[in-house]
Amino acid sequence: MKNDQISLGWNFSNSYVKLPTLFYSKQNPDPVEEPEIVIFNEVLAKQLGLNIIEHRKEAAAVFAGNQTPEGAIPIAQAYAGHQFGHFARLGDGRAILLGEHVTPDEERFDIQLKGSGRTPYSRGGDGRAALGPMLREYIISEAMHNLGIPTTRSLAVVTTGEPIHRETVLPGAILTRIASSHIRVGTFQYAANWGDKENLKTLADYTINRHFPDLEQSEERYLNFLREVINRQAFLISKWQLVGFIHGVMNTDNVTISGETIDYGPCAFMDTYDPATVFSSIDREGRYAYGNQPYIGAWNLARFAEALLPLLDDNQEQAVELAEKEISKFSELFGKYWLDGMRAKLGLMDEGQEDEELIKDLLQLMQEYRADYTNTFRALTLDKLDGEKLFEKEGFQLWYQRWQHRLNSQQEKETAIRLMRKSNPAVIPRNHRVEEALNAAVEEEDLSVMEKLLDALADPYAYSKQQEEYCEFPASTDQPYRTFCGT
């Protein structure tokens, strides 16, 4: 064990297990037959201070759960959540948290194995994961990171040598996920419903210490805690919207307190601009459609505020009043982040009274003529207006003149163009490209398609020649694109 820690560089700490056992169960991963690393994030490993490249066999044993590094205390976390509006008692049903790795720069990250076997929270599931969904999370989470969006990340995917039985028999796999923490809105809901006020306070104090240490001496620490979480979620969801990302399961158990995106099951990126776009096969009512994401964000945060009520004020009515006041600010916060981001996408460096109308008029035209979201802004950035029916329409040409007049009022055209290039990705992980990569990896054991896609996504703002083939709109089909949660 000691040799493994020295060679691989693990430096585990376990602050979460100091919380009451209400919040977790100690649980070792289930060993697998033949662990083999399929893909490994060398850049992230170096940032974490790990030395894995020369020790792949030993690393595979850790990533598969066959070997526990020295200092790790494996646990499954307990939490609850509103899933599509329905409240349930949940927990890590197929994930094990090995512990918290502390980097040479004293940063703390959760190391979690996803697909590592049954836990006390599995609720009848097998606790395992299939290769395709784990590779999907690897692709999307790394793309989100490169797009500049707060996110959990992927360190490695290993195959297990064991079959997984879903609709068909699939190769089994385990993902190693990295997060600032896995504390969720659902963790606080769990404390509020199955713990007491002291448990809730202990969790809140721990979370403040870990993620918001500046609040520890605050007189209104729990109210300020609520404010900070609201602010981070408003920022995060605005960043999603700006690149056309649609989270398929915005349940409260998938809302992190740290403000990182988590759970990349039935998520996808929008091609044709339409606020009603939804991809998830289980979101039959469109609850988490693109245009609904800000409203669901506020709804989820209201559930967080409800869980915190006992800490906000001893008087229930006063606590509710305080919570409602803070939740009511979400819309304004989100609107500001979104408007600032849209201004940047159009190269607007200052605030103009007509900006919001200018932006919404463009989006309306994009929806009317079914324009590609990413490619429209890419074309505006390059000032090459071709490839979209939208650009031929009189309404767009009138809009373009208004936009040019607004740009010229700044008298800094080159700076505006640089701002647009930093704000409009040339490439996103388009759904047909992701499926192409997954099919090659799973069906043909060919990772080259995925590796080439990851290379193109490594710097989405590069506007390189290599990226051009990944900018192409998918061929039309009679069937809408659907994503699945992978459980």
Running DSSP on this structure, what letter comes out for residue 148?
Answer: T
Phi/psi for 211 (5° steps) reads: -115, -20
Cβ atoms within 10 Å of 195's Cβ, excluding its own: 18
Map residue 179 onto helix, strand or coil: strand
In eight-state DSSP terms, residue 434 is H
Asked if residues 280 and 288 have their Cβ atoms less than 8 Å apart, the reply is yes
CA 263 to chain centre: 6
For residues 339 and 110, give the distance between their C-alpha atoms in angstroms, rounded to a whole number.
33
Residue listed under structure tokens 């800490």: 311
- What DSSP string runs through 440-462? HHHHS---HHHHHHHHHHSSTTS
The token pair that represents 51 in the structure block: 């030395």
Please tell me the distance from the alpha carbon of residue 376 to that of residue 387, in angstroms, as a whole number: 9
CA distances for 357 relative to 250, 284, 406, 413, angstroms: 29, 32, 12, 21
Count of residues making up the chain: 487
Of 100, 163, 81, nearest to 129 by C-alpha is: 163
The residues, ordered by sequence, that sit 6+ positions from 214 with a Cβ below 8 Å of its Cβ are none
DSSP string across 53-93: TT-HHHHHHHHTTSSPPTT---EEE--EEEETTEEEE---S
E strand or H helix at 25, and its extent? strand 24-26
Residues 240, 234: Cα–Cα separation, whole Å: 10
Report yes or no: 246 and 483 within 8 Å, Cβ to Cβ: no
Burial status of residue 356 (CB atoms within 10 A of its CB: 0-12, 13-18, 19 or more) = middle
DSSP assignment of 400-428, as one string?
A: HHHHHHHHHTTS-HHHHHHHHHHHS-S--
Catalytic residue numbers, as ranges: 253
- Nearest Cα to Cα of residue 182 among 75, 82, 270, 333: 75
Exposed / middle / buried, residue 306 (Cβ in 10 Å: 0-12, 13-18, 19+): middle
Cα first-last separation, the chain: 32
